[in-house]
Amino acid sequence: AKTTDDFDYANYHVLDEIYSFQDMLVAENPTLVSKIVIGQSYEGRPLNVLKFSTGGTNRPAIWIDTGIHSREWITPASGAWFAKKIVLDYGHNPALTAILDKMDILLEMVVNPDGYHFTHTSNRMWRKTRKPNPGSSCVGVDPNRNWDAGFGTAGSSGNPCDETYRGPTAHSESEIKSIVDFMKAHGNIKAVLSIHSYSQMLLYPYGYTSTSAKDQKELHELAKKAITDLASLYGTAYRYGSMINIIYQASGNTIDWAYNQGIKYSYTFELRDTGRYGFILPANQIIPTAKETWLALMAIMEHINANTY
Amino acid sequence: KKTFVGDQVLRVFAKDEVQLTVIQDLSEMKQLQLDVWRGPTDVATPMDIRVPFHSLMSVKAYLEARDVQYTIMIKDLQADIDKEERQMQRSSYA
């Protein structure tokens, strides 16, 4: 693709194509989009965050990440669609325009680029990072168990050969440490929306404990609104609730860490499907998935914009 | 390049708490080299597991012996991955 208009949103792309897409989007929209390199992956790939901002300094921001589990290809594919949607809608869609006039949107399209590259070259079903584990022949850490929130407790594994290996210490993975450092330095992030697949769920904290989040009522109501909006497009049914109740106990995960940092609107999505295809969701479902998910994201972002804290 | 020829993804249904424990035990049997796509959480939610070809007979026998229901969600994972790769190549040429 020579421009982001030519980019094939209805197909899966290798990492270089996604990086090119990001650069094109920045070049085409210099007053709205910029690229921040927040760090490097273990294998030296840049960790790019697209910043959608209409100006101001250190505005409140909404963080969206996709591609933390590399085999969940639908998530970066949806991320590309979201990025284009934001530039298309700004100035045209009143709700999104109002959000961007007050807040920034930060989008990390591929949180785990080494793993993503590995799924395209060596093992389509790879989930973790690609850092070797000393003393083990097994490679990689589950980046969604590596956060400092109930780290090391039930709901993750201490075995490097397991898919849910938490790593030796919290934030041991550069892919995670880079986000943590960036968010702490930013200091004004109001939402973390971490996007996974599959199973069609919208989850809020906590995953590592059955204790209710202090904002549970609001998070629950907002989740209900978001999944209702999502379902309005194609009727896709989501379940929603706290992670530990709806899916399983998962310690050291992104949204629990974010919530414990005081970022109230912390959600994880599990995108399509309910289990016909799992991680190999056909490419013809990328755009429908992105479109319906966008409705839920907008519901959450509009609520945040109207309820700044 | 790792292939998944003959690997299947099974959807396993627990009808009660006893069967839930049975499939939780299954998911922890390292020697079977199972890849749990969706874990056993409660009776209402089925478990999806990728079963390597060499473990298929053992897993199915284990489930059937304990009267645990399952369906084949993906019959040959590599066939679907090949299809995905062909689609990406076609798109790239286009």
The ipTM of this complex is 0.94
Contact assignment for B46 to A275 by CB distance below 8 Å: yes
Residue B94 has pLDDT above 90, yes or no: no
Which range has the worst mean pLDDT, A28-37, A91-100, A112-121, A247-256?
A: A247-256
A8 chain-B contacts, CB cut-off 8 A? 91, 94
Q: List chain B residues with CB under 8 Å of A277.
A: 74, 80
CB contact under 8 A, A283 and B77: no
- Label residue A239 by pLDDT band (50, 70, 90): very high
Q: List, in order, residues 6 or more apart from A100 with CB less than 8 Å away.
A: A32, A52, A53, A54, A86, A90
User: Active-site residues of A: which are they?
Assistant: 270
Distances (CA, A) of B70 to A146, A289, B10, B11, B49: 33, 27, 7, 5, 10
Distances A271 to A66, A198, A237 between C-alpha atoms, Å: 11, 5, 10
Cα A219–Cα A222–Cα A224 angle in degrees, nearest 5: 110
Give residue B91's pLDDT band: very low, low, confident or very high (50, 70, 90): confident
Structure tokens at A119: 């799924």
SS3 B81: helix
List, for residues A246-265, the tens digit of each pLDDT value.
Answer: 988 899 999 999 999 999 99
188-227 of A, contacting B, C-beta below 8 A: 198-199
Task: Give the pLDDT score at B72.
Answer: 98
Q: Smallest CA–CA separation between B70 and chain A, in Å?
A: 13
Give the per-residue pLDDT at B25: 94
Structure tokens at B75: 């019959």
Give residue-wise pLDDT tens across range A143-172. Answer: 999 999 999 999 999 999 999 999 999 999
Q: What percentage of chain A has pLDDT greater than the value 90?
A: 97
H or E element, residue A181: helix A174-186
Could you report the per-residue pLDDT of A125-145, keeping only the tens digit for each? 999 999 999 999 999 999 999
Average pLDDT over residues A211-229: 98
B89 part of contact set with chain A, CB < 8 Å: no
User: Measured between CA atoms, how close is A272 to chain B, in angstroms?
Assistant: 13
Tokens encoding A260: 């414990």
Q: Test A280 with B37 for CB contact under 8 angstroms.
A: no
CB contact (8 A) between residue B35 and residue A125: yes
Mean pLDDT of all residues in A87-113: 98
Check CB contact under 8 Å for A163 and B48.
no
A25-38: per-residue pLDDT in tens?
A: 999 999 999 999 99
Reading the block at residue A289, the tokens are 């998935």
Instruction: Please tell me the predicted confidence (pLDDT) of residue A170.
Output: 98
Q: Do A11 and B77 touch (CB under 8 A)?
A: no
Nearest CA-CA distance, residue B73 and chain A, Å:
6
Q: Are A54 and A72 in contact (CB under 8 A)?
A: no
By the 8 A CB rule, do A256 and A156 touch?
no
pLDDT cut 70: percent of chain A above it:
100
How far away is chain B from the Cα of A201, in angstroms, using its nearest Cα? 12
> In whole numbers, what is the pLDDT of chain A averaged over residues?
97
Give yes or no for residue B44 having a pLDDT over 90: no
**Which chain B residues in 4-43 lie under 8 Å from chain A, judged by CB atoms?**
4, 9, 11, 30, 35-39, 41
